[in-house]
Amino acid sequence: MNGIPYLSVVIPVFNEEENLLPLTQELVSVLDSLEKSWEIIFVDDGSTDKSPEILNGIREKMPRVQVVTFKKNFGQTAAFDAGFKTARGDIIITMDADMQNDPGDIPELLESLGSYDLVCGWRNKRNDTFIRTLSSIIANSIRNTLSREDIHDVGCSLKVFKKEYVKKLKLYNGMHRFFPTLVKMEGGRVIEIIVNHRPRKYGTAKYNIRNRIIRSFVDLLAVCWMKKRTLNYEIKDKKK
């Protein structure tokens, strides 16, 4: 690949075999329409279906696609982290591999970036089951109350970051649910933009209330602690 791309799209993948080809097609046509150089980084988080073969097939045909393959399933935050460390662009776009995020929203998110450091997608019309949608509304409201935030939809993976903020993040398992707070803790400006949300057509959702509720709550307490203890000092004078 010649030169450093301007846009890097980071996509965690865990058993998404049927989504990968149509997603890539859709995404590439949006990226090409932007007339900026780009790269796509798929991070295969230990898939046990045909995702690894399909990703390699895509990479062989498209040199602007990179594939990072984990030894086993390490979780979505780890996948984002590996993607962030691989990304070379000035702007980092994140999204899910399951086609629930719409690549068609990317141009508007990019336009909204301006003086902000993170633009978060807000799925105000969720296309998930009633239980998933309701649990996410409750989770967001508990998260906002305890961490004194006002983010409607922290779980939407469709986000656009300025590179410097991605590089500043020190991530721990589960922290992908707190990107807006982490960016603000680094002094970044965050905005939310309403985006499309589509039903999952292929494959199955990887999270349910049982495997999320306790862990997310513990993670929330950790983030509240970090937020409260953030170093925030101003130097009055420094003499040599």
Question: In the bound complex, what is the minimum distance in angstroms from residue 200's beta carbon to ligand UDP?
Answer: 7
Check binding of 17 to Mg ion (CB under 5 A): no
**What radius of gyration do the chain's Cα atoms show?**
18
**Beta carbon of residue 92, minimum distance to ligand UDP (angstroms, whole number):** 16
Residue 85 CA to residue 168 CA, distance in Å, equals 11
Q: 112 or 135, CB closer to ligand UDP? A: 135
The option from Mg ion, ligand UDP, none interacting with 17 (CB < 5 to 8 A, set by class) reads none
- The contact set with ligand UDP (CB under 6 A) reads 12-14, 16, 45, 73, 75-76, 79, 96-98, 100, 155, 205-207
- b/e map of 25-55 (b: 16 or more CB within 10 Å)? eebbebbeeeeebbbbbbbbbbbeeebbebb
Span interacting with Mg ion, options 25-33, 96-104, 159-167, 220-228, rule CB under 5 A: 96-104
- For 66-80, b/e burial (b = at least 16 CB within 10 A) is bbbbbeebbbbbbbb
- 97, interface contact from Mg ion, ligand UDP, none, CB < 5-8 Å by kind: ligand UDP
Instruction: Return the residues of window 101-160 that contact Mg ion according to CB under 5 A.
Output: none
Identity of the amino acid at 177 = R
Distance (Å, whole) CA 128 – CA 130: 6
- The one among 100, 136, 181, 216 contacting Mg ion by CB under 5 A: 100
